[in-house]
Each structure stands twice: as structure tokens, then as C-alpha cells.
Structure 1
Amino acid sequence: MKIGKVEISSCPYCEGTDIRYGYQSGDCRLYGASGFLDNQEPIHHLVCAECGAIIFTWVTNPRKYSKTIPERAI
């Protein structure tokens, strides 16, 4: 399975090859971009169906987030 430049063919924890897709939405969205509704984005996951590990996580539009880390986040 290929997500952008990342190729995933098996789980790094159990070497299982049954990889499933899921996403978080609603209150579990990633915040950080400017704007009220524009700053919410679902978080996508690849999950190993054999051991249950979340093996890869991504957002669709990563460039909309700030390059600087706010003081309050550290």
C-alpha cells in the first residue's frame, strides 16, 4: 500500500500483511490551521488487522499547518 511517498507492505510489529484503513473524525480532528472550519481535518490511519497496531497516520493537507510551534505547546 502506498500513501504519498511511503510504501507499507507489512506491519513493523508483527510482520502481518492484512492492513486496514480507518479515520478519526468529529471531536478527534487535527486542529492548527487558521480559520474556524478550515482548520479541522480528519486523521487517517492504517491499522494492522493481525495485531491491532496503528502503523501509519496522516492528514490529507499537511501544508496548511504552521511551521512554527507555539510556546504553549512545548
Structure 2
Amino acid sequence: MKIEECQYCGSKDLTIGHQYAQGCIYPELWGIRLGSPVEHIICKECGSIIYSRVTKIDKFK
């Protein structure tokens, strides 16, 4: 998925941020050590999180 513009303010000044540790996403009924970091596309102009995804999708299969 290619995102080039913030859907909220129209800015094209976007960046990628990663959420680790306590902010990881964990599959239901699985242990904590099996979680995945989350990657966000963030607008540097208004601060909106435009898109999020887990980086280790295999943990959910």
C-alpha cells in the first residue's frame, strides 16, 4: 500500500514510526513473547496516524 498524503490535512510530509515493547500487538490467547511490533505511517504536520500494521504477521497465523 502506497500512502503519499495525509487524509486529514493533505500534507505530504509523512514518516514511519515503530511501536515496541508494551505497545506490541499480541494474538488472542498467545503468550507475551510471541507479539509483534507495530509500524505506523505518521503525518509530521498534524500528527495523525494514517496507517498501522503488525510487522510480524506470521505470529498471527
CA RMSD of aligned residues (A): 1.8
TM-score norm. by structure 1 comes to 0.69
- Which structure carries more helix by proportion? 2
Gaps of 5+ in 1: 1-5, 67-74
Identity %: 33
Gaps of 5+ in 2: none
| Larger radius of gyration between Structure 1 and Structure 2 | 1
* 4+ aligned runs moved over 6 Å, structure 1: none
Name the count of aligned residue pairs.
60
TM-score norm. by structure 2 comes to 0.82
Structure 2 vs 1, CA of residues 14 and 32 (structure 1 numbering), >3 Å: closer, same or farther? same
Larger RCO of the pair (alpha carbons < 8 Å, separation 6+) = 2
